[in-house]
Amino acid sequence: MPSAPTITRIEWAPLTGERPRLAGSNARLGVHGKSVTCPIARITTSDGAQGFGWSRISQEEAASWIGQPVPAALEEIPFALEYPLWDRAGKLVGKPVYALADDRLTALSVPCYDTTLYFDDLHLTDDAEAAELIAAEAVEGLARNHRHFKIKVGRGGMHMPVEAGTRRDIAIIRAVRAAVGPAAKILIDANNGYNLNLTKQVLGATADADIYWMEEAFHEDPMLYANLREWMGREGLSVLIADGEGDASSRLLEWAQSGLIDVVQYDVLRPGFTRWWSLGPQLDGWNVRSAPHAYGGVFGVYAAPHLAARIQGFTFAEVDPAEVAGLDGSAYAIRNGEVNVPALPGFGLGLDETTYQRAITENGFIAT
Ligand SMILES: [Mg+2]
């Protein structure tokens, strides 16, 4: 049996870019801004193959991987280098990463949502004007071929007085629904800025806006979620409960398995792609939906849709658009509310050599 190829070279550098529109606050953070950073590692292996992708590996850790064999099984790909190694695995067989889940797949389109509707209205004193502003942003999303939208809510958590912020959340949800029409799925995300009573108040007041999922209403708690579900049942509401990004409870999966959480949203960069590759089928087995969080990391927006080939319950890809100098994602397209994933090898992304080498010289490193 031939020995496994080894890692011979790791290059690393952060690439920088911009969102098309400044992203405002959410329930727990200030303005998210326009700037984005996408740290990219590229590995070369002893068989001459290469792959690149998101990585936060340090120079010391990169040095420790030189000479190490590439894991033979996809499930064993290590976190530190997972995106370069998944990209390499696809490129080795000349197929997109999604085809590693099912090699009969020759095309993949995945339902997605516009995640850009932040608290961009805090400078306004009038709720109607605020609702008009966020609705206009949703219309911009329609023009970018989005059909589904996530609205940040929880203005009364920190940025506004509780009652005024909650009233504005409700006005904005209604205005966005009116602007995007009845076919759109509308998701709301409180970033844990509500409590149980505020959640009921908002979901009750927006019943006619037909919210598809409620994300991070409050920090996940089985007693509160059980109460919310029981209340929704009595009210005739069928809003899905979504949770799990960020510092999720270690018991989150237990609560998903027991039916308290409908949609699991672990981040696609951390714990990452390999974790999702294993977890997704497990969630399928429990009849729990998957929707990896992908905001803010650039690379995850491209990577997450590939998981839809692996996970039957993959419900939505999150789209936080950004242009990163040196990283060419133009083969990905959004059409009619779906991401069309390119049928190109690996993740189907381009890396401009001049830009990457300059970034390595200025802010990165090479381990050999
Ligand atoms: Mg969220």
35 and 69 together in one domain? yes
Looking at residue 3, its pLDDT comes to: 80
Does position 236 have pLDDT exceeding 60, yes or no? Answer: yes
Determine the distance separating the centroid of ligand 1 and the alpha carbon of 115, expressed in angstroms. Answer: 9
Overall average pLDDT of the 93-113 stretch: 97
Domain for residue 332, yes or no?
yes
193 and 45 together in one domain? no
Domain for residue 222, yes or no?
yes
The pLDDT mean for the chain works out to: 97
Determine the distance separating the centroid of ligand 1 and the alpha carbon of 97, expressed in angstroms. Answer: 26
Rounded to whole angstroms, how far apart are CA atoms 116 and 141?
8
Looking at residue 2, its pLDDT comes to: 64
Determine the distance separating the centroid of ligand 1 and the alpha carbon of 5, expressed in angstroms. Answer: 39
Residue-wise pLDDT tens digits, 150-202: 999 999 999 999 999 999 999 999 999 999 999 999 999 999 999 999 999 99
Determine the distance separating the centroid of ligand 1 and the alpha carbon of 294, expressed in angstroms. Answer: 9
Residue-wise pLDDT tens digits, 198-222: 999 999 999 999 999 999 999 999 9
Determine the distance separating the centroid of ligand 1 and the alpha carbon of 189, expressed in angstroms. Answer: 6
186 and 330 together in one domain? yes
86 and 210 together in one domain? no
Single-letter residue type at 358: R
Domain for residue 342, yes or no?
yes
190, 157 in Cβ contact below 8 A? Answer: yes
Determine the distance separating the centroid of ligand 1 and the alpha carbon of 324, expressed in angstroms. Answer: 22
| DSSP calls for 156-206 | GGTTS-HHHHHHHHHHHHHHHHHHH-TTS-EEEE-TT---HHHHHHHHHHT
Residue 247: band (very low, low, confident or very high) from pLDDT cuts 50, 70, 90: confident
CATH number, domain containing residue 63: 3.30.390.10
Residue 255: band (very low, low, confident or very high) from pLDDT cuts 50, 70, 90: very high
CA pseudo-torsion sign 187, 190, 194, 196: positive
**CB proximity list for 13: less than 8 A, separation 6 or greater:** 39, 40, 356, 359, 360, 362, 363, 364, 365
Residue 47: band (very low, low, confident or very high) from pLDDT cuts 50, 70, 90: very high
| DSSP calls for 215-235 | E-SSS--HHHHHHHHHHHHHH
To which residue do tokens 């690439």 refer? 15
Looking at residue 51, its pLDDT comes to: 98
Determine the distance separating the centroid of ligand 1 and the alpha carbon of 177, expressed in angstroms. Answer: 20
Determine the distance separating the centroid of ligand 1 and the alpha carbon of 344, expressed in angstroms. Answer: 30
Q: How many independent structural domains does the chain possess?
A: 2
234 and 297 together in one domain? yes
Nearest to 297 by CA among 275, 268, 337: 268
CA pseudo-torsion sign 73, 75, 79, 81: positive
**226 is written with which tokens?**
């059980």
Does position 367 have pLDDT exceeding 70, yes or no? Answer: yes
Determine the distance separating the centroid of ligand 1 and the alpha carbon of 242, expressed in angstroms. Answer: 9
88 and 134 together in one domain? no
CATH number, domain containing residue 140: 3.20.20.120
Determine the distance separating the centroid of ligand 1 and the alpha carbon of 247, expressed in angstroms. Answer: 11
Determine the distance separating the centroid of ligand 1 and the alpha carbon of 192, expressed in angstroms. Answer: 9
Domain for residue 300, yes or no?
yes
Single-letter residue type at 16: T
Domain for residue 1, yes or no?
no
277 and 202 together in one domain? yes
74 and 164 together in one domain? no
Determine the distance separating the centroid of ligand 1 and the alpha carbon of 44, expressed in angstroms. Answer: 35
Looking at residue 257, its pLDDT comes to: 98
243 and 320 together in one domain? yes
Determine the distance separating the centroid of ligand 1 and the alpha carbon of 282, expressed in angstroms. Answer: 22
162 and 226 together in one domain? yes
Determine the distance separating the centroid of ligand 1 and the alpha carbon of 338, expressed in angstroms. Answer: 20
Determine the distance separating the centroid of ligand 1 and the alpha carbon of 217, expressed in angstroms. Answer: 10
Domain for residue 33, yes or no?
yes
Single-letter residue type at 68: Q
Determine the distance separating the centroid of ligand 1 and the alpha carbon of 276, expressed in angstroms. Answer: 17
Nearest to 24 by CA among 118, 117, 114, 130: 118
Single-letter residue type at 251: R
Percent of the chain with pLDDT over 90: 98
Domain for residue 254, yes or no?
yes
Does position 1 have pLDDT exceeding 60, yes or no? Answer: no
Rounded to whole angstroms, how far apart are CA atoms 103 and 88?
16
Q: Could you tell me the residue range of the domain that residue 74 belongs to?
A: 7-94+353-367
Element (H or E) spanning 51, and its range? strand 50-54
Looking at residue 131, its pLDDT comes to: 98
Relative to beta strand 365-367, strand 7-23 is antiparallel
Looking at residue 237, its pLDDT comes to: 98
Domain for residue 171, yes or no?
yes
360 and 338 together in one domain? no
CA pseudo-torsion sign 337, 342, 347, 348: negative
Determine the distance separating the centroid of ligand 1 and the alpha carbon of 101, expressed in angstroms. Answer: 27
358 and 346 together in one domain? no
Overall average pLDDT of the 23-44 stretch: 96
